[in-house]
Amino acid sequence: ITGTRLAPKEKMDIPVLFAPDTMKMHEAAVVIHVMRENGENWPYEDSAELNKDLKSSVTVAENGGIQGILWIYPVHGIPEAPQQKLVPAVVRCRARQRVERRVEVLLTGVVPAATAMPAARNSAMFNTNKPTNIQEEVEVTDGFSTTVEFLYELQYQSNEIKSQLESLVGMHLIQREWDTESGIVTLIFNIVFAPNKPMRNEATLVVQCATGGVWKFPMLFIATEPEVDDVINIEAVGLNKESIVGFKLTSQTR
């Protein structure tokens, strides 16, 4: 095996290409083996008693010296569904009110745990029409916790938007459906939105299958102006004279 010669402090790029044909995670390792150009070994006094961690990162010569040093970098290839211009799922609510909406997402090219299935070339998209020939799954998952099949989370464009929406939006996966003919998996989420002020923020629903595929769906949260709390009428008592009306304000917090 011919190697690459490196001068002292020289840098070398190692390209890694990942071209998956299924929505399934693949694992590999990039192993770099370094030896001296003159073939000499690095001296090591206790080479016969190398600890377990060091044995996995060096190759020892017969004379007890260190012949080579290994760097091992694990690589996880996670396929992502092709991104297309999808219409965002809009969740709209008046400020200081609460709304619940069910959102369905379609996952194409899902690979079962036991067998592999070719990935579809079209991206998953939002759909409100239920397909036929459905088998319902009873088990559901809950966020990025210890789940068996699907993990999900909402991602935001910035930490500022995240801090605004994180406490106002709730999301729960309530049902999974499997179309036996097309292999498309439909996930049904229940979205709760309870804004406290008018806003318009975008988010991305990211779904990951336990077998490694990732799907992304755009979402839009809109909070419109709240309802008017009250109308205060002040009657004039005369020209250039003050009119006063009193009302109480109650704080929602301490």
* Pair 124, 108: CB distance under 8 Å: yes
Q: Of 35, 20, 102, 100, whose CA–CA distance to 69 is shortest?
A: 35
Q: Give the per-residue pLDDT at 99.
A: 97
* Pair 20, 82: CB distance under 8 Å: no
- Classify residue 113 by burial, with Cβ atoms within 10 Å: 0-12, 13-18, 19+: exposed
Q: Give the per-residue pLDDT at 199.
A: 94
Q: Give the per-residue pLDDT at 179.
A: 79
Q: Give the per-residue pLDDT at 134.
A: 39
Structural domain spans, the chain: 26-77, 80-112+148-226
The neighbouring-strand residues paired with 206 are 153, 216
112-153 confidence digits (pLDDT tens) = 664 433 333 333 344 434 443 333 333 433 343 333 478 899
Q: Give the per-residue pLDDT at 56.
A: 66
CATH 2.60.40.2310 for domain 80-112+148-226 = yes
All residues at 6 or more sequence positions from 237 whose CB lies less than 8 Å from its CB, including other chains: 243
Q: Give the per-residue pLDDT at 37.
A: 85
Neighbours of 221 (CB within 10 A): 25
Q: Of 121, 127, 113, whose CA–CA distance to 188 is shortest?
A: 127
Q: Give the per-residue pLDDT at 207.
A: 93
Q: Give the per-residue pLDDT at 55.
A: 61
Q: Give the per-residue pLDDT at 142.
A: 38
Rounded to whole angstroms, what are the CA distances from 43 to 36, 38, 60, 66? 12, 14, 10, 6
Residue 126 sits at φ, ψ, to 5 deg, of -70, 140
Q: Of 111, 217, 205, whose CA–CA distance to 151 is shortest?
A: 205
168-193 confidence digits (pLDDT tens) = 999 999 988 877 777 788 999 999 99
Q: What is the pTM of this model?
A: 0.67
Query: Which residue in this structure is represented by tokens 């009193």?
Result: 246
Q: Give the per-residue pLDDT at 70.
A: 87
Spans in the chain with pLDDT lower than 70: 1, 45-56, 112-148
Q: Give the per-residue pLDDT at 84.
A: 73
